Structure 1
Amino acid sequence: MSLPGHGRYEYVPITRRPKILWPGEKRLAVYIGLNLEHFSFGEGLGAELAPGGPQPDVLNYAWRDYGNRVGAWRMLDLLDELDMPATILANSAMYDYAPDLLAAFRTRGDEIAGHGRTNSERQSTMTEAQERAMITEATQTLLKAEGTPPKGWLSPWIAESPVTPDLLVEAGYSYTLNWCMDDQPVWMKTRAGPLLSVPYPQELNDIPAIVARKDSASEFADMIIDTCDEMLQQSANQSLVMGIALHPYIVGQPFRLRHLRRALAHVASRRDEIWLTQAAEIASHWTRTMPPEGDHLL
């Protein structure tokens, strides 16, 4: 029986991969994907702390806005304290709404990656022309503000249309964070050429863990610690990628930040064994070492 497929990549088990080392001869690359998101008031999509009533849903809108006004700033201090880099996944609407916040992460030298215009919309419901226009608008906003175009993209709500990977390559993107099928980067096929999928976690992600499954702050912190230690052990045989996906309106809450501090301090304490980096650096190193054509793909 043949099931419908996507045709973007082939099945290759993790046990049959080429050997690669990260910089410094490390075998585990770790990056933080910090989502900075702005939402429409009175309409559109948004995570919920509690079931929302008729619009305007003030409770959930204000809860999400806490992340931009307070939580993200506390997380910035924590990253500075631990000397940890981050990949900032930025809605382009953030540049109008909270430019000081983007400037603060820019000053740190963090990577700014594309994350649509706003998480109040989902690109999988758009026509191809609408989706192309949305990607162009978001990309141009980041380019104007940062001086260089973003290299990576994470779709709002991880939502894709059938042509999203094609449109990303056509817009100049070299990697995507949308696909969570592996612990190593994977080359994907598009009509415009190859696109690298860099692992972005859906388990080690505070929205599925805390909002959906209702895991506690302590449980989520333990997940980060256990994943780091287990993947370090697994990486003795092959180089791997560990991502940590965070949202300031969730883990920026004080009682959760206390446990996040414990987890990230544990990760930082193992910096001699891991490569603490950004998603773009992972993509660049993989592209140089394992380009989309070559004997290593056979």
Structure 2
Amino acid sequence: MTLPWSYSALPARPEGTWPNGARVALWVAVGVESYRPDDGMTEDILPRGAAPDLVNAAWRDYGNRAGAFRLFDRLAAAGIRPVVLLNTDVYDEAPEVLTAARAAGAEIVGHGRSNSDSLAALPEGAEAGYVAGVLSRIAEEEGDAPGGWSSPWLAHTPTSLASLQGAGYRYLLDLRLDDQPVWLRAGAGRLLSIPYAAELNDSTTMIGRQADARSFAAMLRDEAAELLTSKHPVVMSVVLHSFISGQPWRLRPVAQALAEVAGRDGVWCATPSEIYDAVLADPALAVG
């Protein structure tokens, strides 16, 4: 396998800042997801039971019934526009969530049709049509096509980057190979990889590794404090899910930490589209 990026060492790059002299561009994702009952991929809080697995289905559904609304409110109070990683089946299943997302000024990012899906599990030849269909549905509902894509389960195939670039996506929110955005080779063109938190991620850390919410909040504070010492324009991303961090006992410490980070001097609360536009205006902000 040939990686779709070239090597670059941080110390050799030009120093600089984001708009308004910011050192850190902060973006916060909220996964808004749909799961097919007892079919395909799932995220579970308890070992999966026999079908019908109502306990795990209920835990996931909490996000679209309550958690997303709580998260949007707390992010808005901190001056953070959410970046919604959207399974488009939610348009049909829980449209009120999208109404609240629009009211919060969210950027909508393609995240597949359902989180029971995975690009790696699609039938051969179906990937290009799948990612294009997600883009078309969001454009139809929102009046504008999404610029960004985040893969369900962070899964890819050898053709995924080319399929995304061919469908019209401009940036990928899946990878943390750097603290700065990195240009990826993608078919006949390129995609901008905007840093995506594999560990400042409530799914991998609070569910996968069973870290408690206050430990996760400390991680957020420490990441920001360290990145703010950088002489380079860097990105801090935080990935939350409506059914995980939307749970009240997790939400309080996480929201408090995010409010502190967002209020620090040198932090620019951005969306991926704003980061992408900044890179186009000043190519030195990205690598490659």
- The TM-score, its normalising length taken from structure 1, stands at 0.93
Range with greater deviation from structure 2 (101-110 or 44-53): 101-110
Q: CA deviation at 1:14?
A: 1.6
Match of 2:239 among 223, 226, 245: 245
Matched residue pairs, number? 288
Q: CA deviation at 1:21?
A: 2.0
Match of 1:219 among 215, 223, 228: 215
**CA distance in 1: counterparts of 2:168 and 2:222, whole angstroms:** 36
| Partner SS for 1:138 | helix
- Residue 47 of structure 2 aligns with which residue? 51
Amino acid at match of 1:143: A
**CA distance in 1: counterparts of 2:123 and 2:32, whole angstroms:** 25
- Residue 143 of structure 2 aligns with which residue? 147
Amino acid at match of 1:196: L
- Residue 122 of structure 2 aligns with which residue? 126
Match of 2:272 among 272, 276, 279: 279
**CA distance in 2: counterparts of 1:43 and 1:124, whole angstroms:** 16
Q: CA deviation at 1:18?
A: 2.8
Q: CA deviation at 1:254?
A: 1.0
Match of 2:255 among 247, 252, 261: 261
- Residue 162 of structure 2 aligns with which residue? 166
- Per-residue Cα deviation, 1:209-245 (whole angstroms, up to 9, x for no partner): 0111100011111111111111112x2x111000000
Q: Is the 8 A contact 2:16 2:285 kept in 1?
A: no
Any gaps of 5 or more consecutive residues in structure 2? none
Q: CA deviation at 1:29?
A: 0.5
Range with greater deviation from structure 2 (203-212 or 131-140): 131-140
- Residue 24 of structure 2 aligns with which residue? 28
| Partner SS for 2:228 | helix
**CA distance in 1: counterparts of 2:209 and 2:103, whole angstroms:** 35
Change (3 A) 1:251 1:191: same
Change (3 A) 1:126 1:291: farther
For the aligned residue pairs, the C-alpha RMSD in angstroms reads: 1.7
**CA distance in 1: counterparts of 2:76 and 2:122, whole angstroms:** 39
Q: CA deviation at 1:203?
A: 1.0
Q: Is the 8 A contact 2:120 2:157 kept in 1?
A: yes
| Partner SS for 1:29 | strand
The alignment status of 1:39 with 2:35, answered yes or no, reads yes
Q: Is the 8 A contact 1:86 1:277 kept in 2?
A: no
Q: CA deviation at 1:190?
A: 1.7
- Per-residue Cα deviation, 1:64-84 (whole angstroms, up to 9, x for no partner): 100110111111111222221
Q: Is the 8 A contact 2:79 2:269 kept in 1?
A: no
Q: Is the 8 A contact 1:221 1:259 kept in 2?
A: yes
Q: CA deviation at 1:16?
A: 1.9
- Residue 288 of structure 1 aligns with which residue? 281
- Per-residue Cα deviation, 1:258-277 (whole angstroms, up to 9, x for no partner): 1112211211221x321111
| Partner SS for 2:125 | helix
Range with greater deviation from structure 2 (141-150 or 118-127): 118-127
- Residue 81 of structure 2 aligns with which residue? 85
| Partner SS for 1:116 | coil
The alignment status of 1:228 with 2:244, answered yes or no, reads no
**CA distance in 1: counterparts of 2:76 and 2:8, whole angstroms:** 39
The alignment status of 1:13 with 2:28, answered yes or no, reads no
Amino acid at match of 2:279: W
Q: CA deviation at 1:57?
A: 1.4
Any gaps of 5 or more consecutive residues in structure 1? none
Q: Is the 8 A contact 1:43 1:55 kept in 2?
A: no
**CA distance in 1: counterparts of 2:42 and 2:113, whole angstroms:** 13
Amino acid at match of 2:34: H
Range with greater deviation from structure 2 (278-287 or 155-164): 278-287
